[in-house]
Structure 1
């Protein structure tokens, strides 16, 4: 069956009479037609065939619908309701009738389009708390996902490169000249070769799992107040049986593309803080590039049929190319008393130091990890004894060294009230032969008190009593860039970046 042969089915599903008279809204993607009416959504697979997808027959589309229902119920059981046939009856087509099936649809619960994270991003409603909760849900999903060692690794990445190359060559010109596409393919293959050992080590260690596969902002929604993943890849196991960090990379790339670098940094660092995936940091530039490349060729394909934007395809391609350009890492330490906004500024800087989010190492989070606690779980007083704090700062240095060795810039987020602590971070940068900058945030006591008093659900255990003790510290000489932490966070980050650039 061709798409032409689906015309009758599309007309039927577009008719309000098929939905009890409810008005029908439709969305067309490169692979599906979506019909939204009343409180439900019907998703019809388009009769198309690509190198990575085959929906050319009703039988193939039925199997894909059933697999979509099964896989998406892992993360959105209340959203995916059923698979039903479109049947031919004596008086025409019907949904779920007793006649011969001519096609199949996935039946879903409808939710407001404003709940999509793509809409929340456009409305600047992606709060830090929401992004951390999203990251936690992704970590939990990846942790429970089926391990698939027959996929992924070097062969899996090479397959993605081949698919991207073939599809961009076919549908990219004239938006993406062939020579530019060939250059990107060569750069990606080189990067994959350089990372071959790491990719295989992660596959063998069980880091390749049955993931989502299409984890961008339009496939995440706020359902019943909870960040919910939906619409995972079901049509090609090799595109979803992937390294968990390659799965995460789609979300990070999408946030970066949309200008939400801070939010990408928050998700990335929360994911790293609560998972055991920091060994894969070196692969992130390649993973992010491959994801932008996927969007480039999918958007170029859609543009040819009038459903996509050629200029957008060009922007995705440029991002994919730029992500593979080497950028020397650097080390930044953000210090200051409680309430100066270190963590907020660190997150903003992490999204601005490069296209790939910088690794933020927060002393509060590392302390919790050393004591086997969740980031927001309060610790007893003995966890803040001198020997415990020395362990925290030693761990900060060790993790910073590992991340920088992997090619990532690092931001250390710690009070650093002692001169020797600040000196140690500067010495670390010198020892690793990377640029180092120290940012010291300061603000009047009344501002610090107001901020600390207003904290909720934060990794820091510092309260007003702790701040009062800090205000009595002898800080010694501070030779870091001293920044006024009184203004709004963006203004503080601008000042910090300006100081670093000098």
Structure 2
């Protein structure tokens, strides 16, 4: 006979009694960790709290629910933590160290302690903050050899990433609907963004998705789409040896189902925004053959302009939060992205115009 012993904390601690504020206060205290660090540096993001304690980083997901993700329950947060740990080992195998419980007993909260599991933490190795691609671009110390190593890493990743099956017609329809969705969000009168600029960009994107729908379908039929990183920004790229890329989009595989050319277009956009267009161009040239990047088709510009519009939309959406952090930042950033998207749309319009002139008359 097996006797099931009652845990010592049973009936003595309520797992629902620990609020997000309680957890943040606990994890902000050096005494929460073994060994005890000199200090804990905390960062808040849209979806998480991050605690940098000594040579480790602990990430706590907020119990939030948005249209594109749901972390509202303990089970969902655990699943998201485990997915984050697993997926990010693809490009940062020595950084992600596992998932541990945050527990509550009558003695209080503890990391991997005795008691009820009240949340889950992703544990990471702490990296040098000034060693990112973003820091290198802002600081002006980025070298071509570093970019070449990054491009090689990305090329290897895309070559071995699992291929994703998509339905071509549904995919094309999604692209054709995207400009209107971005317009609806960006042209909210509360934001005061330039109406004509947004409309013009969306119009060019719609034209491309209609006139080049066969090209979009062919990318799918050629099995170009992979389970990608999903959020390939310079702030997520560490120029160490080996090149390390963290913080992929773990919460929705659909958002990681990308044409690698689209993802490189996004990185190219971000490099230009940070003053490093040359770096984005170097990565693009390095990967052009592998990704079948035909500049004359306009596909790269289409992807890039869409990413810029999407980033503008995500930036301005911060103002819809009940208590947005740094509210002055988001309209300014949205306008930067719209300016980049407008330049791309102008170039794309010229490509579409040339194609129309070259089309033989019946």
TM-score w.r.t. the length of structure 1 is 0.60
Runs of 4+ in 1 over 6 A off after TM superposition: 404-408
Q: Give 1:229 deviation, angstroms.
A: 1.6
179 and 279 in structure 1: CA distance in 2 versus 1, 3 angstrom threshold: closer
Q: Distance in 2 between matches of 1:319 and 1:13?
A: 40
> Helix, strand or coil for the counterpart of 1:302?
helix
> Helix, strand or coil for the counterpart of 2:347?
coil
The 8 Å contact of residues 87 and 100 in structure 1, kept in 2 or not, is answered as yes
* Superposition pairs of residues 175-190 of structure 1, within 5 angstroms: 175-176=192-193, 181-190=198-207
Structure 1: gaps spanning 5 or more residues: 330-403, 409-431, 433-502
Greater relative CO, 1 or 2 (CA 8 Å, sep 6+): 2
The 8 Å contact of residues 102 and 111 in structure 2, kept in 1 or not, is answered as yes
Q: Distance in 2 between matches of 1:119 and 1:130?
A: 13
Q: Distance in 2 between matches of 1:229 and 1:407?
A: 39
Q: What corresponds to 1:129 in structure 2?
A: 145
* Superposition pairs of residues 178-257 of structure 1, within 5 angstroms: 181-223=198-240, 225-257=241-273
262 and 7 in structure 1: CA distance in 2 versus 1, 3 angstrom threshold: same
54 and 176 in structure 1: CA distance in 2 versus 1, 3 angstrom threshold: farther
Higher Rg of the two aligned structures: 1
Q: What corresponds to 2:124 in structure 1?
A: 108
> Helix, strand or coil for the counterpart of 2:288?
helix
Larger deviation: 250-259 or 302-311? 302-311
Match of residue 306, structure 1, among 325, 330, 333: 325
* Superposition pairs of residues 282-431 of structure 1, within 5 angstroms: 282-303=298-319, 305-307=324-326, 309=329, 310-326=331-347
Q: Give 1:279 deviation, angstroms.
A: 4.3
Q: What corresponds to 1:384 in structure 2?
A: none
The 8 Å contact of residues 212 and 233 in structure 1, kept in 2 or not, is answered as yes
> Helix, strand or coil for the counterpart of 1:234?
coil
TM-score w.r.t. the length of structure 2 is 0.82
Q: Give 1:406 deviation, angstroms.
A: 12
Q: Give 1:33 deviation, angstroms.
A: 1.8
Matched residue pairs, number? 331
> Helix, strand or coil for the counterpart of 2:193?
coil
> Helix, strand or coil for the counterpart of 1:202?
helix
243 and 159 in structure 1: CA distance in 2 versus 1, 3 angstrom threshold: farther
Q: Distance in 1 between matches of 2:147 and 2:284?
A: 10
RMSD: 2.9
> Helix, strand or coil for the counterpart of 1:287?
helix
Q: Give 1:137 deviation, angstroms.
A: 0.8
Q: What corresponds to 1:278 in structure 2?
A: 293
* Superposition pairs of residues 413-492 of structure 1, within 5 angstroms: none
177 and 52 in structure 1: CA distance in 2 versus 1, 3 angstrom threshold: farther
Match of residue 191, structure 2, among 174, 180, 187: 174
Structure 2: gaps spanning 5 or more residues: 1-14
Match of residue 154, structure 1, among 172, 177, 182: 172
